Amino acid sequence: MRRIITILVLVICLIPFSRAFSEEARIEGEISAVGKYIGVDAAGGGEAKFTEYRDLREHGGLYGRARLNYDAEKYFLNFKASDFGYDTQKYKLDGGLWGQFKYDLFYQEIPHNITFDARTPFIGAGSSILTGAANTNVATWDTFDYSYERRQYGGNLKLNLLKPFFFNGSFQREEREGIKPTGMAATSPGGIGLELPEPVDYQTNNLKLEGGYAKNPLFLSLMYFYSDFNNSNTSLNLGGITGLTPAISAPRLLSLPPDNTYNKGAFKGGVKLPFNSKFSTNLGFAKGESDTSLLPNFDGEVETRNYDFILTSSPVRFLDAKVFYKYYKRENKSDRGLQATVGGVDIITADFLDYKTANYGAEVGFRLPARLYLNGGYQYLTTEREFIKVGEAITDPDLVGLILPSNRDRTYFAQLKWSQLEFMDIMVGFERLNRDEFKAPVQTNKMYAYAAQERDTFKTSVDVFPLENLSLGFEYRHRRADYNGTVFGLTKDKRDEIGSNVAYAVGKIAKLYGNVDFGLIKFQPDLARTVDPNDVPWDAKQKDRTFAYGLGSEIYAIPNKLTFVFQHDYLKSNGKVDFTIDPALLIAANGLGGATQDTVDILHSEDYTLYSFKIKAIYSFTKSLAASLGYAYERFSYSDDQLNGYVFVPATTGTNGAFLTGAYRNQSYKANVVFGGLTYKF
Amino acid sequence: MGKKILIFMSVLTLSLFALSTLGNAVEKAEYAGTETCKGCHEEYYGAFAKSTHGKKAVPDSPANRDGCESCHGPGAEHSGKGGGKGVAIFAFGRGTDPSAKASKCLACHGETKHLASWDIGRHKTMGVSCDKCHSIHGAKAKEPDVCYTCHKYIRTQQNKQSHHPVKEGRIKCSNCHEVHGTFGPRMVKADSITDLCFKCHAEKRGPFAFEHPPVSENCLICHEIHGSNHSKLLVRKVPFLCQSCHTRTGHPGRPATNFHSFGGPATSQKNRFFARSCLNCHGNIHGSSLSPAFDR
C-alpha cells in the first residue's frame, strides 16, 4: 500500500510541471534490464554474508533500472529508479524551478542480512514472546533468518524564492523490520547464556526545518530538528521457557530499546569582519526523552547544550589564522527516583552519565615561498565526567561513586604541504596528543577510553601526475599510543596504514587503474590480576594485518562499439592473539588444565580472504541501444577460532552453559553470477 | 603603557591593512565575450551551457553576468595572444593557488547556507579547493571515489568485511560528513559523534535506565566507523575490546584464549571465548531498562 502511495505522490508531483513540458527542453533518459543467474555455494551464514546489503536471490532474476532527465530553461525534473521489486529498490524524484526552489522525494530499501537458517529451541522467533523447552536436540529446533530491512521514504524542500532569505525542510520516515541476534543471562548473576532472536519492528520519524538569511557580510540560521523512535516491542518475554537449569522465574524479560523523542534547536551565525576575517558561532540545545514501564517506571531525560565560537582571519595573503572555543554539556536529568536505602545509606540504582567538554585552541597557516604551506596549532580539551555506578552512595557523588576519570587533552599539530611542481603534491603531518587524568579513582587497572596516554600520529601523502594521462597516489599513516599510566588494561596501541592508487589512460584505447593497500593494526592489551586468587596474570598481543589490491581496466576494442571491462579485487586479513601466561599457572584450578603456551594462542582471529573478479562486454548496436554480457565470481573465506567448530549447546549448566542460535557462523561463500542485459537510451 | 599599546595596535592594524591590499591593484582588463571563448573551447562551452551556471533563470548565474569570464576573468588579452593554458587568463589548473581558486567560487557561493561555514572547515585549512572535487565543465563527481582520491586509507577500511553499505551504494560519505565545513568534530553533520549516529540508529539513543557510558559519550570508543576486520565495525574483537576497559576481578579480567573456544576442552570453555563471547549474555550493551550488567 505504501508503495502505491509513494508512486501516486511521485505522479502528483509531476502535474505542476505539465506547463513546463510545452517549453523547449532537453529530455533524456535510460531504461535497462539485466538478467542475472546466481549460484551460491554456502551455508546459511555465507549466503547471508554474500547478500549482506544486497538482494541477489539464488538462481537470480531480472533487475530493472530507469532514469529520466528533463531540463528546460526554467524547470528541471529528474527521476531515477533501480531494482524494481527487490529488497534494494530505490526511487528518487527531484525537480524544481532553477534558482527558486528544489525538492526531492525518495523511497529506498536497505537490507541487512546477518545469518540465514539460524536455530533456536524456543518457539516464537521474531515475536516478543518465546516459549517452549530448552533441549539439546538441535535438529528439532526452529529455523529463522537473522535479517532486517530498512524502508526509508521522505522528501526535502529548499526554497530560495526570497533571496537572501532561505528555507529548507526535510522529512524522513524509516521502518525497520526483522530479527537480529541478542543475548541475555538466564539468571543473574552467573546464569547460562541465552543467544536469542530479538524482534526488530521500529519506526523512526525525522523532521528538520531551517530558515535564515545569507548575504554578505551576514549569515543567520535557525534550525529545528525533531525525531521520534517507536518500538512495537518493549521487551522479549521468556517467562514461558522451561528446561533450563537453574530454572528461570517468570517474568524473565529482556528489555528492548524504549520509545524515545529528541528535540533540538540551534542557531548558526557568521559575520564577515575587516581584514578578511569572519566570526562564526553555533549555539544548540537538545532534549532527549524516553519512557519505559519495565522497572516498573522510568522517565529518561537528557539535555545537551553546545556553544561554539570561531574566529578565522586571513589578514594578509600569506597567513591564515583561526581561534576557537567550543563547549558541550550533557546532563542526564532522568528519573532520579531510582534510589534505594540500604543500611541507612541512599544508593544509586541506575547508572547515569553527565559530562561536559571545553575545547579551545588556535591554528595558523603560512603560505611560504616555493608554494610551501605550513600549518600548525594547539588545542586544549577538558572532559569532565560524572558517572555514578549502581550501588554507590549518592551522598558524595564526586568521590565515592565516581568510577570514570576526567581528562585533559593537549594536542599539538603541524603539517607541511609542497605544491611547487605542477606534477606533484607532497604532504607531511604530525600530531601529538598528551592526555592526563584528573578526578580519577586510584587504581592500577584502567579503561582505555579514559586512561592517560601519549599518542603520536604521523601521516604523509604523495600525489604524482607525471603525464597528462597518468596519476599515482600514495598515503601512509602511522599512529602509536602509549597508555603510560596503565598497569592492567590496554597499554599500547599501534597502527600503520598504507594506501596507494594508479590510473592510466592509454590514448582512446583503454583506461587502466589499480590500488594496493596495506594495513597493519597492532594492539597490545596487557592485562593481569594478582589480587584475586581466581585470576591468572596474563598478557596478550593482538595483531591484525590486512593486505588488499585492486586492478581494473576498460578496453575500447572497437571505439564507440565494443568495450571490455575487467575488475579484480583481493583483500586478505590475518589476525592472531599471542598470549603469555606463566606455565606454572596452566592448571585446572585456573580453568587451564592441559593447556600449553601454544594451545592458548588464537591463530585465527577473524582471518578472511575476499577475492572477486568481474568481466563484462558492452556492445553498442546504435547510439541508443546497447547490450552487455558478463561474468562475476566472488569468494569469501572466513576462519575464526571463536566460531570454528561451532556447537549450539556447549553445556547446559555451569559457567560455560549456553544455548546458542548460530549467529555469524559459517560465513564463507563462493558465488558465480552470469549476467546480461539491454540498455536503451533516449 | 596603555598609550604605547594603542600606538602599537594602530601601527599593526595599518600594516596588516596595507599588506592585505598588496596585489589587489589589478589592471583594468577587457572582456572578450562568451562567443569568443566558445570559438576555441566548444566542448567546455557545451558543458557550461547545460549546467546550472549556464541557466539564465538562475539569478546571478554566470550566464546572467559575463559567461565564462565570470570565473576566468577578462579574456580579451588571452584571446589576443592566441590562447594557451593560463596565458593572461585565470585557469583552474593544478598550478594555481587553491585559495585563489576557491575565492572565485566563493564570490557567488559564499553567500549561501551551503558554504557559510567553509572558512571554519578542515578542507579549507588543508588547502583543498573546490575544483579538487567538483568538475565544473565535466561530469559530476561521484562519491565515494572522489573522496578516496585523497582519503586512500578510508578506502582500505571501507573494503574490510565489516562496513557501512557505502560501496554497495546505499549510503554516501556526505550522509555523515559536511565537506564544506561544519562546527562538529571530524566534519560530521552534527555537534557530536553520538548525535550523528543516533540519527540513523535511534534505538540506541535512550536515555536508558542503565547507561553504558561510551555509548552516551562517543560511539567511536568501540566502533571503527569506516570499516573493520571485526564484526559490527568494532575497533577490536570481542572480548578484547571489552577487556580494554573491564579488567577487574572475575570473568572480565580472565584470559579468553583459544583453549576456551569450541575447539578447547569442554570443561575449559567457561570463559566463553566462543560464539559472540561477552555478547552471548550482555546483549543489551548499548543500554538496558532492567540491568546495569546489560544482560537483561
pLDDT digits (tens, 9 = 90+) for A79-123: 999 999 899 999 999 999 988 899 999 999 999 999 999 999 999
Task: Tell me the sheet residues that pair with A184.
Answer: A194
pLDDT of residue B7: 60
Q: Rounded distance, CA B123 to CA A54, Å?
A: 33
Q: What is the mean pLDDT of residues A491-500?
A: 88
Taking only the tens place, the pLDDT of each residue in A343-356 is: 555 555 666 889 99
**Mean pLDDT, residues A612-626:** 96
Q: Tell how many helices (H) and how many strands (E) occur in chain B.
A: 13, 0
pLDDT in tens, A49-85: 999 999 987 788 999 999 999 988 888 999 999 999 8
Q: Enter the ipTM.
A: 0.91
The rounded distance, in Å, linking the Cα atoms of A84 and A99 is: 32
* Mean pLDDT taken over chain B: 84
pLDDT at residue A446, rounded to an integer: 81
- Three cell numbers at A111? 537490507
Whether residues B257 and A595 touch (CB distance < 8 A) is answered with yes
Residue A630 confidence (pLDDT): 97
How far is residue A330's CA from residue A284's CA, in Å, rounded to a whole number?
12
Q: Tell me, what's the pLDDT at B26?
A: 45
The answer to whether A556 touches A516, Cβ cutoff 8 Å, is: no
- Residue A361 grid coordinates: 585552541
- DSSP of B38-53: HHH-HHHHHHHHHSGG
- pLDDT (average), residues B232-241: 92
- Residue B145 has a CB neighbour count (10 Å cut-off) of 9
pLDDT at A557: 93
Report yes or no: B168 at the A interface, CB cutoff 8 Å: yes
Write the CA distances from A318 to A361, B14, B22, integer angstroms.
21, 17, 11
Total-model pTM: 0.90
| Residue, of A211 and A10, whose pLDDT is higher | A211
Backbone angles phi, psi at A20, to 5 degrees: -65, -30
Please tell me the predicted confidence (pLDDT) of residue A392: 57
Of A306, A373, A660, which is closest to B127 when you measure between CB atoms?
A: A373
Contact A375, A365 (CB under 8 A): yes
Q: Is the minimum CB–CB distance between B109 and chain A shorter than 8 Å?
A: no
CA-only gyration radius of chain A, Å: 30
Judged by CB atoms within 8 Å, which residues 203-242 of B form the interface with A?
A: 203-211, 213-214, 216-218, 221, 229-231, 236-237, 240
Q: Which of B104, B84, B85, B90 is nearest to B29 (CA)?
A: B90
Cα–Cα separations (whole angstroms), residue A66 to A81, A626, B144, B296: 5, 14, 22, 47
Whole-angstrom distance, CA of residue A659 vs CA of residue A662: 10
Q: Which of 257-296 (A) contact B at CB < 8 A?
A: 257-258, 260, 262, 264, 266, 268, 270, 274-276, 278, 280, 282, 284, 286, 288-290, 292, 294-295
- First-residue to last-residue Cα distance in chain B: 69
Phi and psi at residue B16, to the nearest 5°:
-65, -40
- In the numeric block, the cell 558543458 is attached to B47
Q: Is the pLDDT reported for residue B1 higher than 70? A: no
3 state SS of B228: strand
Whether residue A136 contacts residue A649, with contact meaning beta carbons closer than 8 Å, is answered with yes
Q: Which residues of A touch B287 (CB under 8 A)?
A: 257
When mean pLDDT is compared across A251-260, A295-304, A366-375, A662-671, the lowest value belongs to A295-304
Rounded to whole angstroms, the Cα distance separating B191 from A409 reads 19
* Contact with chain A for residue B96, Cβ under 8 A: no
Query: Taking CB atoms and an 8 Å cutoff, what residues of chain A touch B276?
Result: 181, 183, 195, 663-664
Inter-residue contact B296 to B288 (CB < 8 Å): yes
Has residue B140 got a pLDDT over 90? no
Which pLDDT score is estimated for B20?
41
Lowest mean pLDDT among B87-91, B128-132, B250-254: B250-254
Contacts of B9 (CB under 8 A, 6+ apart): none
What whole-number distance in Å separates Cα of residue A31 and Cα of residue A93?
16
Q: Which amino acid is at A630?
A: G
Q: Please give the Cα distance from A205 to A155 (Å, whole number).
A: 12
Residue B92 C-alpha, separation from nearest chain A C-alpha, in angstroms: 12
pLDDT band at A439 (very low <50, low <70, confident <90, very high): confident
CA-based nearest residue to B202, from A455, A174, A213, A101: A174
Of the candidate ranges A255-264, A274-283, A541-550, A665-674, the one whose mean pLDDT is the lowest: A541-550
Q: What is the pLDDT of residue A343?
A: 57
Q: How much is the average pLDDT of A381-399?
A: 66
Which among A595, A571, A567, A573 has a CA at the least distance from the CA of A583?
A: A595
Q: With an 8 Å Cβ cutoff, are A353 and B211 in contact? A: yes
Contact: B152, A473; criterion CB under 8 Å: yes
For residue A360, give the C-alpha cell. 579551545
Instruction: Give residue A580's Cα distance to chain centre.
Output: 34
Q: How confident is the model at residue A523 (pLDDT cuts 50, 70, 90)?
A: low
Of chain B, the percentage scoring pLDDT greater than 70 comes to 88
d(CA A379, CA A411): 5
Which helix (H) or strand (E) element contains residue A411?
strand A406-418
Which residues in chain B are contacts of A536 at CB distance < 8 A? 254-255
Q: How does strand A669-681 pair with strand A142-159?
A: unpaired
Cα Dmax for chain B:
89
Residue A293 has pLDDT above 90, yes or no: no
Residues found in chain B:
296
A117 CB within 8 Å of a chain B CB: no
Question: Is A610's pLDDT higher than 70?
Answer: yes
User: Using CA atoms, how far apart are residues A412 and A364, in angstroms rounded to an integer?
Assistant: 12
Distance CA B113, CA B123 (A): 17
Sequence-distant (≥ 6) Cβ neighbours of residue A17 within 8 angstroms: A70, A75, A77, A95
Residue A244: is its pLDDT beyond 90? no
Higher pLDDT, B142 or A454: A454
CA–CA separation, A111 and B168 (whole Å): 11
Range with lowest mean pLDDT among A352-356, A484-488, B19-23: B19-23
Q: How far is CA A374 from CA A369, A433, A462, in A?
A: 11, 19, 16
What proportion of chain A, given as a percentage, has pLDDT over 70? 89
Residue A21 has pLDDT above 70, yes or no: no
Across the interface, of B110, B116, B229, the residue whose CB is closest to A544 is B229
Is residue B248 within 8 angstroms of chain A, CB to CB?
yes
How many Cβ atoms from other residues are within 10 Å of residue A373's Cβ?
22
How many Å apart are CA A166 and CA A153, to the nearest integer? 24
Residue B231's nearest CA partner among A49, A168, A584, A426 is A49
Minimal-distance CA residue of chain A relative to B209:
A350
Contact B283 A184 (CB under 8 A): yes
Q: Comparing C-alpha atoms, which of A132, A120, A142 is closest to residue A244?
A: A132
CB B173 within 8 A of CB B147: yes
Chain B partners of A417 at a C-beta cutoff of 8 Å? 126-127
Give percent of chain A above pLDDT 90.
63
**pLDDT for position A41:** 94
Continuous H helices in A16-89: 44-50
Q: Which pLDDT does position B254 carry in this prediction?
A: 80
B260:A573 CB<8 A = no
Helix (H, G, I), strand (E, B) or coil at A263: strand
Give yes or no for residue A226 having a pLDDT over 70.
yes
Cα–Cα distance for residue pair A408/A450, rounded to 1 Å:
10
Are the beta carbons of B97 and A254 separated by less than 8 Å?
A: no
CA A3 from chain center: how many Å? 28
Higher pLDDT, B175 or A534: B175
Which amino acid is residue A496, in one-letter code? D
